Amino acid sequence: MASFTKADPGQGLNQPILTQETIQLELAKLEKSIQQATNTTQLLKLLNQIDSKNHQIDNVLHQFISRQSVEHRSAVRSLEISRVELSNTLNHSRSLKKITEDASQLSSKITEKVRLLDAERSQIQTTKDYVENVKVLKTEVHKAHDAIEHQDWLSASRSISIIKRLPEGLISDEFVQFIVPTSDLDEMPETLLKSWIEELNTIFIKEFNLAAESKDTQRLTYFFQLFPLIGKSEDGLNCYSKFICGIISKQSRSILMNVQGKPDVRPDYYSQILFQLYQTIADMIHQHSRIIRRYYGSQVMDLILTAVQEECDLQSSLIFDTFRDSREIDRIIHDIKNYGYPILINSIYRAQENDEVQRDDGNLISLAQVANLVVEMSSMMNHWAMYCKFFVVTWNEAIQTEDKTQAIYPKPLLTSTFTGKIRQILTKDFDTLCTFAVRRTLEKSYLMENIPELTPQLSLCVKYLGMVSKNIHKSTNQSLLSLIPEDPPVSSMIDDVLMSLNMIMLHALSSGEFTTIKSMISNMKRLIETDFLNILKKKLEENQPRANTVLLNSATIRNIQTLQQPNTFYQGSQTGSSANLNGSRSGTPDMMGGSYFVKIPIIFRETC
Q: Please check the confidence at residue 5 and state whether its pLDDT lies above 50.
A: no
Closest by CA to 201, choosing from 181, 173, 229, is 229
Percent of the chain with pLDDT over 90: 9
Integer angstrom CA distances of residue 336 from 267, 342, 434, 440: 20, 13, 11, 10
Question: 110-119, 287-296, 372-381, 553-562 — which is least confidently predicted?
Answer: 553-562
Q: What is the pLDDT of residues 109-150, one digit of tens each?
A: 899 999 999 988 888 888 888 888 888 888 888 888 888 888
User: Helix 153-164 and helix 189-214: axis angle, to 10°?
Assistant: 140
Q: What is the pLDDT of residue 542?
A: 65
Q: What is the pLDDT of residue 380?
A: 92
Q: Please, which residues have CB within 8 angstroms of residue 211's CB and are 6 or more apart in sequence?
A: 217, 219, 220, 222, 223
Q: What is the pLDDT of residue 320?
A: 92
Q: Which residues on adjacent β-strands are paired with residue 8?
A: 13
What's the predicted TM-score (pTM) here?
A: 0.64
Q: Label residue 90 by pLDDT band (50, 70, 90).
A: confident
Q: Please check the confidence at residue 430 and state whether its pLDDT lies above 60.
A: yes
Q: Please check the confidence at residue 355 and state whether its pLDDT lies above 50.
A: no
Q: Label residue 588 by pLDDT band (50, 70, 90).
A: very low
Closest by CA to 5, choosing from 53, 63, 74, 71, is 63
Task: Give the mean pLDDT of the chain.
Answer: 76
Q: What is the pLDDT of residues 309-349, one digit of tens each?
A: 998 999 999 999 988 988 889 999 998 888 888 888 887 76
